[in-house]
Amino acid sequence: MSKLKNKIAIVTGGASGIGKETVKALAEKKVKVAIADNNEKAGKLLEKELLEKGAEVMFIFVDVANEESVEKMVNDTVRKYGQLDIIVNNAGVGIMTTTHEMSFEEYNRVISINLHGVFFGCKHAIRQMLNTAGCGCIINTSSILGFVGQPGAFAYNASKGAVNTLTKSLALEYAEKNIRVNAVNPGYVESGMVNREALGDFYDTLVSRHPIGRLGKPEEIAHAIMFLIENEFVTGLNLIVDGGYTIQ
């Protein structure tokens, strides 16, 4: 029997890509999962699919850049299931543009979702973990671009670098409270707009930067997230899952 059975989890950005595969992996372990996303159609479809398979899941609309929305997401989950054991702060966005042409609105959108959204998720999850569960597990989806630069991705680099350091800081701050905080740092994953059709010739360039010879799959990153959730001796880790991108 899974030691995660009947644990309560939230996955932001849970309706697609890495988030969707993480929701499915948690549900397979009999975790009760809140699928949190701003795409109601995709979230409801996933909710229906998993409910029909006997999973205990629910969809919650969330705008992670809005603290009140994140607080409501956490409170609604606790109201439904009684407590919160796990949160995967996975929602994110990227904008590719030259920095001198980037508007503040574009920059602020990336920072608000990728960094502020993680802060809001951690803050309100920790409050509930301290009050109800007495322990907890936080996973932040970061990126290898939190470690290495990428031309045209200044705001994304900045947001993910901050998430990596935030993760270490929170891990130290809450270790004595038995709340573990880790991050997964994927390489380029074939999901959403990262595919041959969308990227054209640049797709082959991306593939060439991964020594393993291909891009990652969302389920492979979900497997890494599950490792961080299940291994109770790991905290403060930024786990790189990148097909060798950063070892060159």
Which residue numbers are catalytic?
A: 156
Q: Where are the beta strands (DSSP E) in the chain?
A: 8-12, 32-37, 57-61, 86-89, 136-141, 179-186, 238-241
Pairing of strands 32-37, 57-61: parallel
Sequence-distant (≥ 6) Cβ neighbours of residue 12 within 8 angstroms: 19, 36, 37, 62, 64, 73, 87, 88, 89, 90, 91, 117, 121
